[in-house]
Structure 1
């Protein structure tokens, strides 16, 4: 009888086994400044240090479910259903990090998400977070830890930098900047988003010409608004059927070559 060779296992014995976490880079524009959501850790490691919201993926959870749960547990902010596509909120997977050298407890693989929205409300700490707050990105990047004198916990400085760069790049080629705006907005309000995300001042007339002249981007509502000093400005909205995360602007609204100090490069 011929000897048969056992089939190799689908999962070799040498395969690594380590926990998986999710981290959320939540960005919004508040008071004309790009801000990120951070929490102060209640537990070790890095107790008392600021970090991005996140935590371990639980059995039976998808990665997106874990991201939403951790955000709600630690900050009391809830991502609306369907935020991965159209609508004012935008959630997308950013990158995978690790597993080595990022957590003093051992190898941990982290999947980071980027979350953009016009307004999140005020966070409230919960779960294993001692405090939750919005902090200008410029105070968290480009120097060691901003106001609190220490960098973000784990490798969250790099994750935040990647999230900000993703947001900067995406608003060049997609209508995603409108995710930071209410459903109807003025061109000046939209320009303020670009200036906050890119960290630079833009020429008002040139931006108005490019934004309103780009096919498939904006549609006038026929109404006036603004609420500021001077005459009311025309209100716009995204053109019908536009997916803020998928549509591509032709031509793109390219950012200036050198970003300003509001959101320094990593």
Structure 2
């Protein structure tokens, strides 16, 4: 398609929003997608998003479009990247993409029609360049979880060490040695044990919460 000089780029804001869903062996990383109801790419699934308002800042637009399309409010939101290849859309569109996290206890609240959850590891063909965008967002998530408290965005306020380890395993796609994980997390000083326990079929497991006064200054236990 030949574009004229009179055609000005439009700015859109999209969001890759990750959550966890219980699986047979470990939780799976999942994300909501929206089925397009008009051309281009009618019928294909796409990331939630919309146009940037004239008097709207980027983060506000990301939160607004996410709420309008999925009804979700993320626990973590960060700008990912700008995608602006000339031929990514029939008209000239630059997308400012955010990535976000929602906890599993709210990830089932998808009221709007044409919205569904998909396993991030086995996506269908998406509209535009959204497969590549999700792939890049997963790469960022896997790298960031190793040196930050990003896992907190997928956990409740209090959690067991096993639940924390499962978050890391789901994101990295591999098993972690429980004893080594416990030892390195305990020595990091980033968690505070509580006096409460999670009870169930196994022996009670102590609950922890993040130490809000500690920021990780070096790479965490996942990559050691």
What's the TM-score once normalised by structure 2's chain length? 0.89
Q: 2:35 maps to what in 1?
A: 40
Contact 1:187 1:235 in 2 (8 A): yes
What does residue range 60-75 of structure 1 map to in structure 2 within 5 Å? Answer: 60-75=55-70
Structure 1 residues 15 and 43, CA gap change in structure 2 (3 angstroms):
closer
Matched, 1:114 2:86: no
Partners of 1:212 and 1:35 in 2: how far apart? 28
Partners of 1:98 and 1:179 in 2: how far apart? 28
Contact 1:214 1:251 in 2 (8 A): no
Contact 1:102 1:108 in 2 (8 A): yes
Task: State which structure, 1 or 2, has the greater radius of gyration over its C-alpha atoms.
Answer: 1
Partners of 2:64 and 2:219 in 1: how far apart? 38
Query: Which residue of 168, 190, 212 maps to 1:240?
Result: 212
Contact 1:23 1:55 in 2 (8 A): yes
Contact 2:31 2:119 in 1 (8 A): yes
Q: Deviations over 1:6-54 (max 9, x none)?
A: xxxxxxxx89831000110000111111111111111111111011101
Matched, 1:103 2:82: no
Q: 2:166 maps to what in 1?
A: 192
What does residue range 67-216 of structure 1 map to in structure 2 within 5 Å? Answer: 67-79=62-74, 89-104=75-90, 106-119=91-104, 120-121=106-107, 122-125=109-112, 131-140=114-123, 145=124, 151-215=125-189
**CA RMSD, Structure 1 to Structure 2 (Å):** 1.9
Q: Deviations over 1:103-144 (max 9, x none)?
A: 12x21110000101223332122xxxx51111111111xxxx
Partners of 1:224 and 1:207 in 2: how far apart? 19
Structure 1 residues 17 and 193, CA gap change in structure 2 (3 angstroms):
same
Partners of 2:48 and 2:219 in 1: how far apart? 36
**Count of aligned pairs:** 214
Partners of 2:43 and 2:220 in 1: how far apart? 42
Matched, 1:222 2:195: yes
Structure 1 gaps of 5+ residues are 1-13, 80-88, 146-150, 257-266
After TM superposition, the runs of 4+ consecutive aligned structure 1 residues lying more than 6 A away are none
Q: 2:218 maps to what in 1?
A: 250
Structure 1 residues 15 and 237, CA gap change in structure 2 (3 angstroms):
farther
Structure 2 gaps of 5+ residues are none
Partners of 1:175 and 1:249 in 2: how far apart? 11
1:63 Cα deviation after fit: 1.1
Partners of 1:41 and 1:228 in 2: how far apart? 43
